[in-house]
Amino acid sequence: MDPLKDIKLDCGKGVHTEIWDRLRGTFAPIAKINTIRVLLSLAANLDWLLHQFDVKNTFLHGDLEKEVYMDLPLGCNSAPDKKNQVCKLRKSLYGLKQSPRALFGRFTKSMKNFGYTQSNSDHNLFLKRDEGKLTALIVYVDDIIVTGNDAKEQLKLQKYLFQEFEMKDLGDLKYFLGIEVVRSKTGIFLSQRNYVMDLLTETGMLGCKPVDTPIEMNHKLCEDMDQ
């Protein structure tokens, strides 16, 4: 069942209403690719560690700022005289367009409470400076990358995030946004081989052979379509 189809915004039912236009657009905390590139470049040049985390049950962590009502799920028995009853959501849930915004709102509040500053150029980037050292966190929906030159602060941040959210420690950064990340003494190597292979598999072109040109070789182009 799609909860979006069951949201009640009818004044006649006495519920709190909200302009429907606000629900049409979907918000998602997506970091800018240029910001990610800068962080990877800094990590490579300054020899910073790159640590990755994943937020479990991502959109169930958000707190709703507005009242949202939903029809009773299928299978719930209700008395005939109470068939018009609805559910009041206490937390966000998957399928609700407010869920990503609610999650990011709570995440932002938690990071600021822990002393981090939200970047003005990319709101998905959070920074903390302490005695000349820097810790940076960037979030892309439910994927989080932490880097910097303050190892103690990174451990404190990890402990704090695990207390605030249900997290999974993925260790050193290896795969992010379809990009494989391999680190060596000479730098960081990025590859999208697996991503390209997945695309070829989905489009049924995995067995196709590469060619230098997509058109017939030595083909003569004419102005007259009949020639």
Binned at pLDDT 50, 70 and 90, residue 98 comes out as low
Write down the pLDDT at residue 61.
Answer: 55
The predicted model gives 123-152 an average pLDDT of 92
Q: Which residue has the higher pLDDT, 3 or 105?
A: 105
Mean pLDDT of 67-78: 70
Return the ∠ at Cα 120 (arms to 154 and 171), rounded to 5°.
25
Entry pTM: 0.68
Please compute the mean of the pLDDT values over residues 154-162 and round it to a whole number: 94
Mean pLDDT, range 149-169, rounded to an integer? 92
The pLDDT confidence band at residue 62, using thresholds 50, 70 and 90, is low
Domain regions of the chain by residue span: 3-72+87-173, 175-207
Percent of the chain with pLDDT over 70: 71
Buried b (16+ CB within 10 A) or exposed e, 16-38: eeeeeeebeeeeebebbeebbeb
Token pair, residue 45, equals: 């040049």
Distance CA 194, CA 200 (A): 10
The label of the residue with tokens 């995030």 reads 161
pLDDT surpasses 90 at 17:
no
Mean pLDDT score of the chain, rounded to an integer? 78
What is the distance, to the nearest Å, from the Cα of residue 8 to the centroid of all Cα atoms in its chain? 27
Q: Judge whether 126 and 118 are in contact, CB under 8 Å.
A: yes
Q: How confident is the model at residue 111 (pLDDT cuts 50, 70, 90)?
A: very high
Position 169 pLDDT exceeds 80: yes
Q: At residue 114, does pLDDT exceed 60?
A: yes
- Cβ atoms of 63 and 102 within 8 Å: the answer is yes
Alpha-carbon distance of 205 to 52, in angstroms, equals 32
More confident: 22 or 31? 31
Would you state the pLDDT for residue 227? Answer: 57
Tell me: pLDDT of 41 over 80.
Answer: yes
